[in-house]
């Protein structure tokens, strides 16, 4: 099976298992994720907003435009990375997702990461960060890479502020842009670490 068909199966499973029926009922689309299933970097946001719900794609509204800008200025292409959310349906009126909604979708996010096997997971906002780095405070650790074990893989988490929160907040915006610009170097170091680890275990 290809990686893409494995990801497609996640969509089928969420629908057939009737995950989060209260959100599903109000949503137009299930928003699984978008981008390169062979990506070295996966971005994980919170939940789809209005535009995302309408189009069935993550980060296509105002926050998505800002994300695209930051990708471009950091010499990354949107088609080279993979973008998803912890919660796959839009919460009504863009309210924060409830803990039980995040919890029920978490195993599906883990499956996505098992399939893609990224080097870096960049969390956008605290809702996705708290699952990878429990008890961490985003204001204290934003932009600082943390290597963690995740199922069968080790992955570097880069906690970032959420682009929607930073969009209209001058200082947070600058902080997010600075943190974002560190990603290519963090990736380079992650690749070097993996290369050394490979030599040591061969």
Which one, 154 or 177, has the nearer CB to ligand URA? Answer: 177
Should residue 49 be labelled a site residue for ligand URA when binding is judged by CB under 6 A?
yes
Nearer to ligand URA, 154 or 165 (CB): 165
- Distances 35 to 30, 54, 78, 101 between C-alpha atoms, Å: 16, 18, 7, 24
Closer CB to ligand URA, 61 or 143, in the complex: 61
Smallest distance, Å, CB 63 to ligand URA? 4
Distances (CA, A) of 19 to 77, 80, 127: 32, 29, 19
Residue 59 · residue 83 · CB < 8 Å: yes
Q: Is 145 in the site for ligand URA (CB under 6 A)?
A: no
According to the binding rule CB under 6 A, does residue 48 interact with ligand URA? yes
Find the shortest distance in angstroms from Cβ 83 to ligand URA. 7
How far is 61 from 39, CA to CA, in rounded Å? 22
47 binds ligand URA (CB under 6 A): yes
Single out the residue of 137, 134, 45, 159 nearest to residue 97, CA to CA.
Answer: 45
Position 85 contacts ligand URA (CB under 6 A): yes
From 63, 115, 155, 166, residue interacting with ligand URA (rule: CB under 6 A)? 63
Radius of gyration of the chain (CA): 16
Residue with the shortest CB distance to ligand URA: 45
Determine, following the binding rule CB under 6 A, whether residue 164 of this chain makes contact with ligand URA: yes
Q: Residue-wise over 165-188: b if at least 16 C-beta within 10 A, else e?
A: bbeeeeebbebbbebbeebeebbe
- Nearest distance, CB of residue 61 and ligand URA, angstroms: 6
Binding residues for ligand URA, rule: CB under 6 A, are: 45-49, 52, 58-59, 61, 63, 85, 164
């Amino acid at each position: 099976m290809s990686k893409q068909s494995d990801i497609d199966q996640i969509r089928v499973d969420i629908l057939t298992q009737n995950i989060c029926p209260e959100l599903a009922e109000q949503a137009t689309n299930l928003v699984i994720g978008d981008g390169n299933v062979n990506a070295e970097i996966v971005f994980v946001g919170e939940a789809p907003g209005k535009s995302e719900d309408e189009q069935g794609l993550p980060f296509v509204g105002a926050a998505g435009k800002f994300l695209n800008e930051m990708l471009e200025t950091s010499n990354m292409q949107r088609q080279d990375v993979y973008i998803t959310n912890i919660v796959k349906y839009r919460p009504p009126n863009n309210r924060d997702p409830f803990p039980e909604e995040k919890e029920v979708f978490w195993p599906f996010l883990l499956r996505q990461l098992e399939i893609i096997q990224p080097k870096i997971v960049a969390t956008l906002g605290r809702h996705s960060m708290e699952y990878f780095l429990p008890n961490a405070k985003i204001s204290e650790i934003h932009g600082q890479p943390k290597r963690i074990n995740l199922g069968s893989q080790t992955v570097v988490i880069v906690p970032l502020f959420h682009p929607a929160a930073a969009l209209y907040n001058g200082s947070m915006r600058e902080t997010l842009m600075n943190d974002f610009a560190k990603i290519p170097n963090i990736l380079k170091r992650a690749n070097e670490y993996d290369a050394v680890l490979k030599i040591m275990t061969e």
